[in-house]
């Protein structure tokens, strides 16, 4: 990772912490402290993808890729924390500050996710083909829509696949085998997954589309 990007990541984290600290001081309580944990979870996929660049053997890469895929939905998940905007209204805290705080965490987390996805996509493209890289990237974003649904509405966590795998798999299999009965699940999955795809494509386009010099 270039130093300037690493520095930008650190500054973005410090910005989130600063805005949250202001919110704590004005409100007199720590209601939104969970946002720090969510930001940490969003950074895990980025750390895993950075480690992938040092691996050449597929046998070693597969466990890391599986772990990365398991934690990746935590990055776009923070977007749904906007649902908490009016959850803890406080007369000492202006609503615009709550909105600024939630958007800061959401966008920085999504930025972490897109960075990690791009690194994985490049690794797959170098090892196999551009088609393989893009297929994995787009598929990951759609699967993330499902993962975010499991986390936001069914309250599953990434580590539940180890702690309570049978219950988690029961919920997943039930929705796969009976999609009509769980239309909300697949509506959210497709809708949120499509939004992430557009976001990722816009992000990549802006990164490579430089204005021409006069």
Report pLDDT for 31. 86
Q: Name the residue among 52, 51, 41, 42 with its Cα closest to residue 133.
A: 52
Q: Return the higher-pLDDT residue of 3 and 18.
A: 18
Written as six digits, the tokens of 135 are: 């297929």
| Mean pLDDT (whole number) for 170-198 | 94
Mean pLDDT of the chain: 90
Backbone CA torsion sign across 178, 180, 184, 190? positive
Report pLDDT for 38. 95
Contact 185, 192 (CB under 8 A): no
Is 209's pLDDT higher than 60? no
């Amino acid at each position: 990772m270039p130093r300037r990007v690493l520095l930008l990541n650190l500054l973005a984290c410090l910005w989130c912490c600063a805005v949250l600290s202001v919110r704590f001081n004005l409100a007199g309580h720590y209601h939104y402290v969970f946002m720090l944990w969510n930001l940490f979870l969003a950074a895990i996929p980025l750390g895993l993808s950075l480690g992938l660049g040092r691996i050449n053997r597929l046998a070693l890469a597969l466990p890391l890729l599986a772990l990365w895929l398991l934690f990746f939905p935590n990055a776009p998940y923070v977007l749904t924390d906007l649902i908490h905007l009016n959850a803890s209204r406080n007369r000492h805290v202006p609503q615009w500050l709550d909105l600024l705080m939630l958007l800061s965490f959401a966008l920085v987390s999504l930025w972490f996710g897109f960075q990690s996805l791009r690194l994985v996509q490049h690794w797959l493209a170098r090892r196999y083909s551009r088609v393989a890289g893009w297929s994995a990237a787009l598929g990951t974003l759609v699967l993330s829509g499902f993962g975010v649904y499991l986390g936001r509405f069914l309250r599953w966590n990434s580590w539940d696949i180890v702690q309570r795998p049978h219950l988690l798999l029961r919920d997943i299999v039930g929705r796969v085998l009976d999609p009509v009965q769980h239309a909300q699940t697949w509506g959210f999955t497709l809708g949120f997954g499509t939004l992430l795809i557009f976001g990722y494509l816009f992000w990549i386009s802006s990164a490579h589309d430089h204005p021409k010099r006069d």
